[in-house]
Amino acid sequence: MNDTERTDEALCALAQSGDAQAEESLLLRWRRNVRLCARPLFLLGGDSEDLIQEGMLGLLRAIRGFDPERGSSFGSYAELCIRSAMLTAIRSAAAKRHSVLNNSLPLDILLETDDPMGDPERIVLLREATRERMERLRGRLSPLEAQVHGLYLEGLSCAEIARRLDRSEKSVDNAIQRIRRKEAQS
């Protein structure tokens, strides 16, 4: 009996016993379903292929964790695992702790002026957007935060900034944390 004639449950049992061919067959058989599950979803900071990959990992977990004794079909269990993996990835990407990364621009694009491969118009627009964002941020900073921000952008460490401003490291660290919160809100 070849793999196309076997049920999902039979292939899953073979895969769980170490049959790599059976596992591969299940992954190929369910690939279209994973794509269909990913179609209506959106991953912040990623694309549909990233979601499909998460779904395939969920499918792999379903293959390895399926227990027919629990009374559900492999299909129901696999679909639940696939959707769960995708939704977890979406929630994780949308978490507030990632907002600075999701809303930021790459520094190499912003700082590189002589990039012969870069689109000059794009570089100018990105620089202008960054400049406007920095101005909005500076307008929201206290005098101490503005000083700390300037020195921080120069590459000084928290301890170096504290020595230069004759402040405690804790005071400087607190200022940096406030700056980060304000930057995330702008």
Looking at 51-65, 68-82, 108-122, which range is the least confident one? 108-122
Alpha carbons 77 and 95: distance in angstroms, whole number: 27
Give the largest CA-CA distance in the chain: 79
Residues in the chain: 186
Q: How many CB atoms lie within 10 A of CB 73?
A: 13
pLDDT confidence band for 116 (50 / 70 / 90): very low
Q: Which residues contact 149 (CB under 8 A, 6 or more apart)?
A: 137, 138, 141, 179
pLDDT of residue 5: 83
Q: pTM here?
A: 0.53
Give residue for tokens 């679909």: 79
Using a pLDDT cut of 70, give the percent of the chain over it.
80
- Check whether 60 has a pLDDT greater than 90: yes
Looking at 29-43, 57-71, 126-140, 148-162, which range is the least confident one? 126-140
Give domain limits for the chain.
Answer: 3-95, 102-185
Average pLDDT, the chain: 81
List the CATH code of the domain at 3-95: 1.10.1740.10
State the helix-helix crossing angle for 20-38 and 48-65, rounded to 10 degrees. Answer: 140
Better-scored residue on pLDDT, 74 or 111 = 74
CATH fold, domain 102-185, is: Arc Repressor Mutant, subunit A (1.10.10)
pLDDT confidence band for 58 (50 / 70 / 90): very high
- Check whether 96 has a pLDDT greater than 70: no
Phi, psi of 56 (to 5 degrees): -65, -35
Alpha carbons 2 and 21: distance in angstroms, whole number: 11
